Amino acid sequence: MKYRVFLLSMLSMGIAGNPAVAADLPVLKTGGANKVPACATPGRMMSFATSRNGRISSQFDGVATEYMRHGEALSVRWDYAFFQMLVETANLSFVGDVRASQNNFAGLGATGGGVRGEKFASVSDGVKAHLQHILMYAGEHIADPVAERTRKVQEWGVLTSWQKSLRGPMTFAQLTRKWSPKDRGYARDIAAVAGAFYNRFCQSPDPRPELVAEARGQRGITIDTAAAIKPVTEDGKLKSGRIIAKAAIADTRATSGPARIALGAKIPAAEPPPPAAGAAGPAPNYTILNGASEIAASDSSGSDTTTDAARTNGEVKVASAAGAAAASAPATSAAARSSCRVWQASYGGQKAVIIQAIDGPQVNYTVLDVNEGREQREVAAYIAAYAKGGKQVAEFASPSRALNKAFEMCPES
């Protein structure tokens, strides 16, 4: 059941009484030029929803992420489905027959007169049920519908003759005429909400960009799988990790000079050995985390590069390069003895961290490029989506230095 609360916003935007605007609502299914704009992200969507209702329950924090996740999987214009949801639920306030606990975002089965409609076990199920119902309107057969209402409408065939009478792919404007046939302003309501978002929030910075990766799973960030499966070929043969490390070291020298200090496992002969304990030399620009005795180091300018995870009882332990090498040696040796892979992923930033994750007998080291100021959020998002149970083990000022270290930790990759 839909709850009309948008008349004032429509009037202020010049939409009320303008059927041409509603007629411009997009086709239900994505494809060709009909794509969800890149600026429509879960972070911006939730910021938009919160601006309309500052008391949204925390149980719906991930609702926009689920619309993107299921919408892309089903090839549905999930952005307009989200706007429809805001109309149906009065901006997630659930002031009508449907209750928030039902996770019913489209009023499925709610026919008025106090009939509450269906209840779904989770936010994800409720979103999927909504999008499946839209897809059914587009003429698709839903093999395993979440909603009982979707199953019944399909079995009864109540939309078949109407769908055949339409020309071309179905739009949201056409859907609204059947979804709520007695409400002639339904399409204009959705158009008003869409206009409010795309005219304002689409131009704002994404407050939670990591939600895109969360919604897309392995499609969320750029994963260089070739670096893990077939890192480099030379005359048709795979190069060893040692050769790749040499190339990375050469790249570092070209961009950073000879001041790099190698740590951990054995290094190629061309690389100068680390200085002895107490020897003079610049401090390395990395942070190493070694279990209970975390070690942090600062770059040569003296700026602290330690993460929160590297602080023990409020103290930051700073060690020399030699001491750091000794501390990291056991972990490096253990990794070298096991099957390991080096991966590369990126959120587009200039800094980099190494994430270690164990998958059975295999140890995976991911060099993840992160953005300044968003490191912790991006690392957490990556681990949650692609490296379950993983942990950050190092932080670097540049991706090339992180790659060097990763190949030292996994020389056989």
CA distance 322 to 325: 5
Q: Domain check: are 159 and 269 in the same one?
A: no
Percent of the chain past pLDDT 90, that is, above it, reads 44
Structural domain includes residue 216: no
Structural domain includes residue 347: yes
Q: Domain check: are 232 and 255 in the same one?
A: yes
pTM higher than the cut 0.85? no
Structural domain includes residue 183: yes
CA distance 107 to 196: 23
| Boundary (domain end) residue, out of 207, 234, 269 | 207
Structural domain includes residue 120: yes
Structural domain includes residue 1: no
Structural domain includes residue 214: no
* Domain boundaries, position 341: 222-409
CA distance 387 to 407: 18
Burial of 258 (0-12, 13-18, 19+ CB in 10 A): exposed
Smallest CA-to-CA distance from 342 within 402, 268, 271 is with 402
For 213-253, how does the pLDDT look when each residue is reduced to its tens digit (9 = 90+)?
999 984 434 444 333 333 334 444 444 444 544 554 454 44
Q: Domain check: are 249 and 199 in the same one?
A: no
Token couple for 100: 């928030």
Structural domain includes residue 217: no
Write down the residue that tokens 């078949």 correspond to. Answer: 160
Burial of 95 (0-12, 13-18, 19+ CB in 10 A): exposed
For 184-221, how does the pLDDT look when each residue is reduced to its tens digit (9 = 90+)?
789 999 999 999 999 999 888 999 999 999 999 844 34
How many independent structural domains does the chain possess? 2
Q: Domain check: are 31 and 154 in the same one?
A: yes
For 308-348, how does the pLDDT look when each residue is reduced to its tens digit (9 = 90+)?
333 333 332 222 233 333 333 344 444 334 588 888 888 77
pLDDT for 114 equals 86
Structural domain includes residue 389: yes
Measured from the Cβ of residue 226, the count of other Cβ atoms closer than 10 Å reads: 12
| Boundary (domain end) residue, out of 207, 233, 267 | 207
| Boundary (domain end) residue, out of 178, 207, 236 | 207
CA distance 208 to 358: 28
Q: Domain check: are 185 and 292 in the same one?
A: no
Q: Domain check: are 72 and 160 in the same one?
A: yes
pLDDT for 316 equals 28
Q: Domain check: are 135 and 187 in the same one?
A: yes
Q: Domain check: are 228 and 188 in the same one?
A: no
